[in-house]
Copies of this chain bind each other. A is one copy, B any other.
Amino acid sequence: MVSIKDVAKHAGVAISTVSKVLNNYPNVTEATKLKVNQAIKELNYVPNSIAAALSSKHSGRVALLMDPMRQTQAVDQVYMQYMLGALDCAKELGMDAITVFFSMLEGMKADDITRYLRSQGVQCMVVFGLSQEDRIIRELIQEEDFFTVVVDAPFVTDGITTVSIDNEQAQYDVAVKTIGDNILKLEKGHGPQTVLYIAGKGTNYVTADRTKGMKRAAEDLGVSLSIRYGDFSEAKARNIAFVTGKDKDVIVCASDLMAIGAMNALTELDIFHPVCGFDGITLMGYVGHQMNTVQQDFYDIASTAVKEAKRLMDGEKGRQVIMPHKLARLEYLDIIR
């Protein structure tokens, strides 16, 4: 393996000079920089990031923590997008990233996890999809042994950055669009009067915000609102819609999966009411109707989160980042069925 020493010799300079060129340090003549780069090319040299990490005590390594298992099926897509966004971005920024699923951490105390991550040279954690039930992970975060970026959960400290969309506003927007569209479609006074909101899991951080958004939308539109908790489960949402949805004009759901469940219930009851979801997953294409949904763009969220991780490791303070969201109506359903 060709090392920095070989490059130095080949270029006729000192090792440290090569290092400086590699790391874009100032105070290097353009001429020597050229010589060094020449040598690097000729020798086909590739720096050993392991050695660099050891020497600098600065691995730039982030751990992507997520739990794709707890949730029901069909959120795989969300986590896949998270991973794609995070890993792409990490590679782009020259950081290296390891993926850690909560399931791999089962049975570990917070300290065990800390030690495990530390042994892996992890410097920063990025946590996706945290819930209030994840005691250990929350403890881990609050220990502040690592820089941390938390996606979609509130933590405000100097060492912690949070990244999320504005769930309150997003839920407001999609609800207003769904209900409002149907108000316009019908004669005034014959629009939707009653709305069923199938919220997420009470313990989930996003649930409170989204519910708030839904309430505000209901007020602004002057419709009466019932709220039930579907725990992000398709089956539960289906049952709720089955029992409670009959006499409601519109059903708003805090996730696409629940929207699918609700839609299935309505289909079975052989009635049609507008339903809207939240995440914008393509699985929505498998249901039989058009539906509004919030396009969350998990890829972008993850990649932003990783950029924020770098920011933290570069010594900046933690902060709160709010990502934009879009509204989307699924247009391609007739292609599918």
Contacts and interface: CB of A to CB of B under 8 A. Distances in A.
A53 to B, nearest CB: 5
- The interface residues of chain A, by DSSP majority, are classed as helix
- For A49, A88, A91, which residue has the most chain B Cβ atoms within 10 angstroms? A91
Contacts of A287: 286
Contacts of A99: 83, 87, 97, 99
Contact of A73 (B50, B98, B282): B282
A79 interface: yes
Interface in A37-51: 44, 46-51
Q: How many copies of this chain does the complex contain?
A: 2
A283 interface: yes
A166 to B, nearest CB: 26
Given A47-B119, A80-B68, A96 B96 contact: no
A170 to B, nearest CB: 22
A244 interface: no
A121 interface: yes
A337 interface: yes
Interface string A1-16: 1000000000000000
A46 B84 contact: no
A274 B20 CA distance: 67
Contact of A84 (B98, B103, B264, B282): B103
Interface of A: 1, 44, 46-51, 53-54, 59, 68-69, 73-74, 76-77, 79-80, 83-84, 87-88, 91, 96-101, 103-104, 115-116, 118-121, 234-235, 238, 260, 264, 267-268, 282-283, 285-287, 335-337
13 contacts: A1-B118, A48-B121, A50-B54, A68-B84, A76-B76, A76-B79, A80-B80, A83-B101, A84-B103, A87-B101, A91-B104, A235-B336, A286-B286
